[in-house]
Structure 1
Amino acid sequence: MRHFTLIALFTFNIVQILAREQNVIANGRLMCGSSPAVNVRVSLYDIDTAPDPDDLLDEMFTDIEGEFVVRGSTAEDTDIEPILKVTHDCEDDNKNHQGRRIVTFAIPYSYVTLRGMPHKRFELGTINLETKFHNEERQVPSAKIRRHHYYPRRLNYDNDFDIFDSF
């Protein structure tokens, strides 16, 4: 068991040494028709393969002009695969039923900087979210689960009343 622990610690340290910090920054402007898309969620992820879950690097909501800037970094031993996920309900006929629309934009690896601040910014440009994208998904709304809590009644032994005296 002791040898296993030492091997595990050694392996973990090697992985940490081989992992390199990778940074990315992206910005853009989102529109809904001719109006700025205000309060739209923009998430920056590093896509990983199973069983490693995807890493959320940064997340923000667009400002009153529909603009956003997201930046993030992560230490990985392989090249990161950054993406932008835009979650919105612009021109959505199913606002109350199927969840919000999610559009994904891949960021080329040439915009990833090793160590330090990102040197190159990925400019998404101005995107009209009325567009129906071919890779569009739906955010699955979380089900409203009714939870019934059972709180057992506690007998109060502080008073002189005994429940068996009433019978």
Structure 2
Amino acid sequence: MLRYLAFFSLIGAATSLLFGLIGSEQSVRVTGKLQCNGAPASHVRVKLYEKETTLDTLLSEGTTDADGTFTLQGAKTEVTTIDPKVNVYHKCNYNGICYRKFSLTVPDNFITDGATPNKTFDIGVINLANRFSGDSTDCLN
């Protein structure tokens, strides 16, 4: 089983390297404000990923400010259009040893050709006390 995982990881890495040499650089910027029960959710971990077939590629990461706001941006070279998503890891109304996690996909019309994004996907104000489709628990963020 480990051999298969190593093989497919190697194939994925080689494909990413090859496509990185012949693709075009694309970038994305995401901003938003997170709250917990109406109060700013400060120090919440947020990560911007490029969705991949095997393992997602981290483009940027950070935490929310004291007022719950964040901005992330990243770039990647791909042959096809990048497929970015934002993962949010939080403890709002959750006392487990891990974190609650949800993801938001960035629409294609917010992806920019080139290294610097000229558009920003604003996710708006999100109350982390809500339940989201695809919610999960993550201990390794």
TM-score, normalising length: structure 2: 0.82
Counterpart of 1:95 in structure 2 is 96
Counterpart of 2:30 in structure 1 is 26
Counterpart of 1:63 in structure 2 is 65
**Alpha-carbon distance, 1:19 to partner:** 1.0
Matched position secondary structure for 1:110: helix
Q: Percent identity?
A: 34
**Alpha-carbon distance, 1:78 to partner:** 1.7
Counterpart of 2:78 in structure 1 is 76
Corresponding residue pairs, total: 127
**Alpha-carbon distance, 1:14 to partner:** 6.9
Is 1:127 matched with 2:126?
yes
How far apart, CA to CA, are the structure 1 residues paired with 2:17 and 2:37?
51
**Alpha-carbon distance, 1:16 to partner:** 4.5
Matched position secondary structure for 2:89: strand
Matches within 5 A, 1:37-48: 37-48=41-52
**Alpha-carbon distance, 1:70 to partner:** 0.1
How far apart, CA to CA, are the structure 2 residues paired with 1:128 and 1:122?
18
**Alpha-carbon distance, 1:26 to partner:** 0.4
Letter in 2 for 1:133: F
Question: For the structure 1 residues 12 and 140, does the alpha-carbon distance in structure 2 shift closer, same or farther, using more than 3 Å as the test?
Answer: closer
How far apart, CA to CA, are the structure 2 residues paired with 1:74 and 1:121?
16
**Alpha-carbon distance, 1:15 to partner:** 4.0
Matched position secondary structure for 2:116: coil
Higher strand proportion = 2
How far apart, CA to CA, are the structure 2 residues paired with 1:22 and 1:133?
28
Counterpart of 1:108 in structure 2 is 107
Question: For the structure 1 residues 14 and 66, does the alpha-carbon distance in structure 2 shift closer, same or farther, using more than 3 Å as the test?
Answer: closer
Q: Structure 1: 5+ residue runs without aligned partners?
A: 1-10, 143-167
Question: For the structure 1 residues 80 and 35, does the alpha-carbon distance in structure 2 shift closer, same or farther, using more than 3 Å as the test?
Answer: same
Q: Structure 2: 5+ residue runs without aligned partners?
A: 1-14
Matched position secondary structure for 1:117: coil
Question: For the structure 1 residues 31 and 12, does the alpha-carbon distance in structure 2 shift closer, same or farther, using more than 3 Å as the test?
Answer: closer
How far apart, CA to CA, are the structure 2 residues paired with 1:128 and 1:12?
36
* C-alpha contact 2:19 2:77 (8 A) present in aligned 1: no
Matched position secondary structure for 1:103: strand
* C-alpha contact 2:47 2:86 (8 A) present in aligned 1: yes
**Alpha-carbon distance, 1:134 to partner:** 2.1
* C-alpha contact 2:25 2:113 (8 A) present in aligned 1: yes
Q: 2:87 aligns with which of 73, 80, 85?
A: 85
